[in-house]
Amino acid sequence: MIQPDPKPDVLARRDVIVAGLATLLPPDGLITEPTRLKPYETDGLPSYRQVPLAVVLPETTEQVAAILKFCRDNGVRVIPRGAGTSLSGGALPLADAVVVGLMRMNRILDIDYDDRCALVQAGVTNIGITNAVAGQGFFYAPDPSSQLACMIGGNVAMNSGGAHCLKYGVTTNNLLGLKLVTIDGEIIDIGGAHLDAAGYDWLGLLTGSEGQLGIVTEITVRILRGPEGARAMLAAFRSNEIAGACVDAIIGSGIIPVALEFMDRPAIHACEDFAHAGYPLDAEAMLIIEVEGSVAEQDRQLAQLSEICNRFDPISLKVSQSPEESLAIWKGRKGAFGAVGRISPDYMCMDGVIPTSCLPDVLRRIGEMSDACGLKVANIFHAGDGNLHPLIMFDANDPASFHKAEIFGADILKLCVEVGGCLTGEHGVGVEKRDLMPVQFAPHELDQQRRIKSAFDPDWLLNPSKVFPLQASHTA
């Protein structure tokens, strides 16, 4: 991967820039020592690293505004960062850039149960919102796997999803308002605690814009009352094709499970070895299906789902009888990344989306690619919405292995686009898929997006070298 050259004038003025930033922040809010900069050199995509020029940790929106204005006036590139959990390198620094870390803006400012919303700062963790409202039976719906660590500001930037978004939607469907700081240092309120602001849908445009348009410091999220209860079942099948047909039958029946997760044989084995969740090791494919409601409603839906699964000659069918059994069923799936990490020194988590009907064919072709390049892959799939997460196993200490993994990953994503899907469902383009954007968009379509970027950030200082292919990204 190629990154843009640092601006020589910025590097030359490093001391002046650092001194200027110091005047805008509390004394401990500026990091410049190499050893303390080191943790910021990468994010959830550790294959790529670059120590930034400096890290700033503002505590208020006004400080963020002052920092951005200073950076604009001095032509300094800016890398917004939440918890640094991006799987697409969304927070990867540049050598001449200032990382703006939002982790100190970690307060929940208001919770309103009557109006079912909460006002939170960008550095609040995803689970922190749910924890704050769980006592009243409420929750914040999008639940990315990293939810213990990842921050809501990063969720907004990447439009994060999760296992339960088939029913509840992704981040963009669960927001009401934002406080945006522009590169000019202006503070703009978008939306509020009400639905559907008149005028252009800035809320929709900003969500998932990957730090290209500004920095969001406060977010008004919708909170939802949780269901009476939830329960999971597990169904294992003899082939990917059969499991795929069963997914079709479930959706066709009119039931929308709150979660519908698919794991292939390598994923089942990795998760079972790691979590001892009781997964059937003789299965080629496995579904985890979760339903919600009262106990009677759960029983009825699970019976109906069991009846559907039974039409597909399952190897095993296990309906949870208790919250503990449901947790056991989820335990393996939720530990999937750790499980794969245990059997391979390194792995890359891909994030393509495909039309669900293409699943068996796509898994077969991924298997062929895996055989051809000699790298193992385990597939985890949000089956209801077509979001496929192949985990490619490689050895980062072996440059040839890493190179093969990059090519394998790109080939999978190209295949996703070829069958009618897209490059990324919930992780974002970041730096990882930047150069694949022309697979999905024509040059004039990328130019259209670049012009929008330029409308917010004329000098391309915000999170540069992400999202858009590098060659023309500074000329729009």
Please list the residues that pair with 179 across neighbouring strands.
189, 218
Q: Which pair of structure tokens corresponds to residue 418?
A: 């070829």
User: SS3 of 377, please?
Assistant: strand
Give least dist CB 149 to other proteins, A: 19
Stretch that binds other proteins, among 11-19, 361-369, 393-401, 437-445 (CB under 8 A): 437-445
Q: Residues 190, 192, 195, CA angle at the centre, nearest 5°?
A: 105
CA–CA separation, 395 and 399 (whole Å): 8
Give least dist CB 423 to other proteins, A: 5
- Per CB under 8 A, the list member of 8, 199, 324, 400 interacting with other proteins is 199
Taking CB under 8 A as the rule, does residue 306 contact other proteins? no
Contact 138, 113 (CB under 8 A): yes
Nearer to other proteins, 178 or 285 (CB): 178
Stretch that binds other proteins, among 103-111, 191-199, 339-347, 397-405 (CB under 8 A): 191-199
User: SS3 of 157, please?
Assistant: helix
- Per CB under 8 A, the list member of 5, 28, 198, 322 interacting with other proteins is 198
Taking CB under 8 A as the rule, does residue 82 contact other proteins? no
CA–CA separation, 454 and 265 (whole Å): 46
Size of the site for other proteins (CB under 8 A): 93
Q: How far is CA 131 from the centre of its chain?
A: 20
Taking CB under 8 A as the rule, does residue 298 contact other proteins? no
- Per CB under 8 A, the list member of 59, 297, 406, 435 interacting with other proteins is 297
User: SS3 of 381, please?
Assistant: strand
Site string for other proteins, 236-275 (x = CB under 8 A): ------------x--xx-xxx-------------------
Nearest to 190 by CA among 170, 209, 165, 168: 209
Nearer to other proteins, 346 or 432 (CB): 432
Nearest to 269 by CA among 326, 337, 338, 340: 340
Taking CB under 8 A as the rule, does residue 130 contact other proteins? no
Taking CB under 8 A as the rule, does residue 202 contact other proteins? yes
Taking CB under 8 A as the rule, does residue 186 contact other proteins? yes
Taking CB under 8 A as the rule, does residue 165 contact other proteins? yes
Give least dist CB 421 to other proteins, A: 5
Taking CB under 8 A as the rule, does residue 360 contact other proteins? no
Q: How many CA atoms lie within 13 A of 111 on its CB side?
A: 17
| Residue 112 phi, psi dihedral angles, 5° rounding | -125, 100
